[in-house]
């Protein structure tokens, strides 16, 4: 009992007893969990109860810098970012207007197709290239900013708005304070209800200002939240900033680099020694092989040649260097690679490109978990935070510019690129069986391959019309020929 308990027990013994019972019950519950006990095994385990924002604030800058360094210089990190961005976005997540009349949907799709070709404020990418850049930045830096840039009519754009992709360094992380209308957390301003109202952005990238001669200021200014898209993976409730995806494996990647370098240095040192000579006369004795003198150190250098025969004097000996083998090297590296792949939610084969340890079935099974993670990132983070807000702004500006006849909002169907098939024949048979069983529609099957169902069906109808006009019957036409090669019955008679 501490002094407070003793004082309460002296004034009210009943209250003091209840406090003791409650404290004892809490201790019993805590000790029932091994992970909550304080023992020799948990000594040095530092864990905090900080919020997500408090923990990120202390680590974000250094994590981001180290993550970028690994992507630049570590082969596994570079492979990981390429795998995630390539599978999440691929050649682009496409959009088709839904909800309006067929004519209106076609007009919106045509305007969209024109706009995405010129939507990059830098003038180098289309919307699909911007998607790939954002996905890569989210993996490498933890988050990415996209700013809407309204253009004057003099620039000649039919839909006068563009997208500017910014690294998260533009967001003033030091800006954390209370305001008269709410609060600011690491550069993101909220109102009293908790809605994002402003972003505090630097006019230049801090790295450009501090590391180059470009003029600029590190003073941040408020930009309305309606003009900024903040894309990141939200792992904890209330989390305001994103964390680089390499965070769980930064140390492991660094350790593996150092281990491989240490092995390489050891091998180089061992290779420097060809032979060791023992001479009873001492180092001043006659040379065993042709010798020269190093002008820098004055040491004698002897060399051996192929087929050389040399007779030694009594007492002289030569022992050759026998470099030791790297016992367990491959197993250790493979174990670390597997750990890295697990932390990045990849398969070992995706991280290393090594397919020697898997067969067809195990490789497909390993991809299921990875693809579930990619689908989760696509539909729960990437599309809601980037694609949908861009679509809404496009509709608003396009109507204001007179490009589309109605203000909307109009529905949209997003179609991500399909995943590559390990065995296309087996996958196509499985898809056909699902369609015949009614568990998959033809529209869904086409969308899973990354194609627009309406456009695909229109092309099929056009091809069938041309075949019929010319009287051509192909073996691949299911209207005419069955899968076994027999002619279909004419259902029109």
Instruction: List pLDDT tens digits, range 236-245.
Output: 999 999 999 9
| Domain span including residue 173 | 53-246+344-351+361-420
Pick from 175, 93, 125: nearest CA to 385: 93
pTM, full prediction:
0.81
User: Prior bond to 409 cis, omega within 30?
Assistant: yes
416 and 367: one domain?
yes
Whether residue 133 has pLDDT greater than 70: yes
25 and 62: one domain?
no
222 and 371: one domain?
yes
Percent of the residues in the chain that have a pLDDT greater than 70, as a whole number? 85
Answer yes or no: are the C-beta atoms of 182 and 189 closer than 8 Å: yes
User: Is residue 181 situated within a structural domain?
Assistant: yes
User: Is residue 293 situated within a structural domain?
Assistant: no
Provide the pLDDT for residue 201.
97
Whether residue 12 has pLDDT greater than 60: yes
Provide the pLDDT for residue 268.
82
What's the pLDDT tens digit per position in 214-240? Answer: 555 689 999 999 999 999 999 999 999
Highest mean pLDDT among 24-33, 314-323, 385-394, 418-427: 385-394
178 and 75: one domain?
yes
User: What is the gyration radius of the CA atoms in the chain, in angstroms?
Assistant: 34
Answer yes or no: are the C-beta atoms of 45 and 38 closer than 8 Å: no
pLDDT, greater one: 99 or 463: 463
Q: Locate tokens 């996209």: which residue?
A: 146
> Which of 420, 440, 463 is the endpoint of a domain?
420
CA-to-CA distance for 172 and 59, rounded, in angstroms?
A: 15
pLDDT, greater one: 262 or 19: 262
Whether residue 492 has pLDDT greater than 60: no
User: Is residue 12 situated within a structural domain?
Assistant: yes
Please state which of the ranges 10-19, 54-63, 173-182 shows the lowest mean pLDDT: 10-19
Answer yes or no: are the C-beta atoms of 475 and 485 closer than 8 Å: yes
> Which of 420, 452, 469 is the endpoint of a domain?
420
In sequence order, what are the residues at sequence separation of 6 or more whose Cβ sits closer than 8 angstroms to the Cβ of residue 85? 132, 135, 136, 139
- The pLDDT-based confidence of 347 (bands split at 50, 70, 90) is very high
Q: State how many domains the chain has.
A: 2
If you average pLDDT over residues 435-447, what whole number do you get? 88
Provide the pLDDT for residue 60.
96
96 and 230: one domain?
yes
Helices (H) and strands (E) in the chain, counts: 15, 14
78 and 196: one domain?
yes
15 and 146: one domain?
no
User: Is residue 491 situated within a structural domain?
Assistant: no
User: Is residue 428 situated within a structural domain?
Assistant: no
User: Is residue 267 situated within a structural domain?
Assistant: no
Which conformational region is residue 361 in: left (phi greater than 0), alpha (psi within -120 to 50 degrees), or beta?
alpha
What's the pLDDT tens digit per position in 167-215? Answer: 999 999 999 999 999 999 999 999 999 999 999 999 999 988 666 555 5
Whether residue 370 has pLDDT greater than 90: yes
Terminus-to-terminus CA distance in the chain, angstroms?
A: 97
CA-to-CA distance for 485 and 476, rounded, in angstroms?
A: 9
Provide the pLDDT for residue 317.
75
159 and 17: one domain?
no
Q: What mean pLDDT value characterizes the chain?
A: 86
> Which of 395, 420, 445 is the endpoint of a domain?
420
User: Is residue 268 situated within a structural domain?
Assistant: no
Under DSSP, the state recorded for 12 is -
Q: What ranges make up the beta strands (E) of 45-142?
A: 94-98
CA-to-CA distance for 46 and 40, rounded, in angstroms?
A: 13
60 and 180: one domain?
yes
27 and 123: one domain?
no
Helical H segments across 356-438, by residue range: 360-377, 388-400, 424-437
213 and 119: one domain?
yes
User: Is residue 151 situated within a structural domain?
Assistant: yes
242 and 384: one domain?
yes
What's the pLDDT tens digit per position in 292-337? Answer: 777 777 676 766 666 666 666 677 777 776 767 767 888 999 999 9
Provide the pLDDT for residue 290.
60
Q: What ranges make up the beta strands (E) of 180-316?
A: 182-185, 188-191, 196-202, 220-224, 228-232, 275-278, 291-293, 300-302
Provide the pLDDT for residue 488.
67
């Amino acid at each position: 009992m501490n002094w407070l308990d003793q004082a309460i027990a002296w004034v009210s013994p009943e209250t003091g007893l209840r406090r003791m019972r409650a404290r004892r019950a809490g201790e019993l519950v805590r000790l029932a969990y091994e992970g909550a006990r304080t023992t020799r095994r948990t000594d040095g385990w530092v864990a905090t109860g900080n919020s997500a924002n408090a923990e990120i604030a202390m680590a974000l800058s250094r994590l981001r810098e180290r993550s970028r360094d690994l992507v630049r210089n570590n082969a596994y990190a570079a492979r990981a970012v390429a795998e995630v961005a390539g599978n999440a976005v691929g050649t682009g997540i496409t959009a088709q207007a839904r909800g309006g009349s067929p004519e209106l949907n076609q007009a919106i799709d045509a305007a969209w197709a024109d706009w995405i070709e010129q939507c990059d404020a830098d003038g180098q990418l289309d919307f699909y290239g911007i998607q790939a850049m954002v996905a890569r930045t989210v993996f490498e830096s933890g988050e990415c900013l996209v700013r809407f840039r309204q253009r004057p009519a003099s620039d000649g754009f039919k839909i006068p708005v563009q997208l500017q992709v910014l690294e998260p360094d533009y967001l003033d992380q030091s800006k954390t304070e209370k305001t008269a209308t709410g609060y600011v957390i690491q550069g993101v301003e909220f109102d009293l209800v908790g809605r994002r109202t402003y972003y505090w952005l630097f006019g230049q990238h801090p790295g450009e200002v501090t590391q180059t001669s470009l003029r600029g200021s590190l003073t941040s200014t408020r930009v309305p939240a309606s003009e900024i898209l903040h894309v990141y993976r939200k792992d904890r409730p209330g989390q305001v900033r994103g964390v680089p995806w390499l965070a769980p494996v930064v140390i492991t990647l660094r350790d593996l680099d150092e281990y491989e370098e240490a092995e390489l240095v050891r091998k180089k040192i061992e290779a420097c020694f060809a032979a060791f000579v023992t001479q009873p006369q001492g180092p001043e004795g006659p040379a065993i092989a042709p010798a020269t003198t190093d002008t820098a150190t004055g040491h004698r250098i002897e060399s051996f040649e192929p087929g050389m025969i040399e007779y030694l004097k009594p007492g002289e000996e030569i022992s050759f260097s026998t470099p030791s083998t790297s016992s367990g090297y491959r197993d250790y590296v493979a174990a670390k690679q597997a750990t890295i792949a697990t932390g990045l939610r990849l398969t070992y084969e995706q991280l290393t490109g090594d397919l020697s340890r898997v067969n067809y079935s195990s490789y497909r099974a390993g991809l299921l978990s990875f693809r579930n993670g990619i689908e989760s990132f696509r539909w729960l983070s990437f599309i809601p935070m980037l694609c949908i807000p861009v679509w809404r702004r496009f509709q608003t500006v396009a109507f204001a510019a007179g490009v589309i006849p109605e203000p909307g909002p109009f529905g949209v169907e997003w179609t991500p690129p399909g995943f590559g098939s390990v065995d296309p024949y087996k996958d196509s048979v499985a898809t056909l069986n699902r369609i015949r069983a009614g568990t998959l529609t033809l529209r869904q099957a086409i969308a899973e391959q990354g194609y627009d169902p309406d456009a695909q069906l229109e092309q099929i109808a056009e091809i069938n019309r041309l075949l019929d006009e010319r009287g051509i019957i192909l073996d691949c036409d299911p209207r005419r020929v069955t899968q076994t090669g027999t002619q279909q019955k004419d259902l029109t008679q």
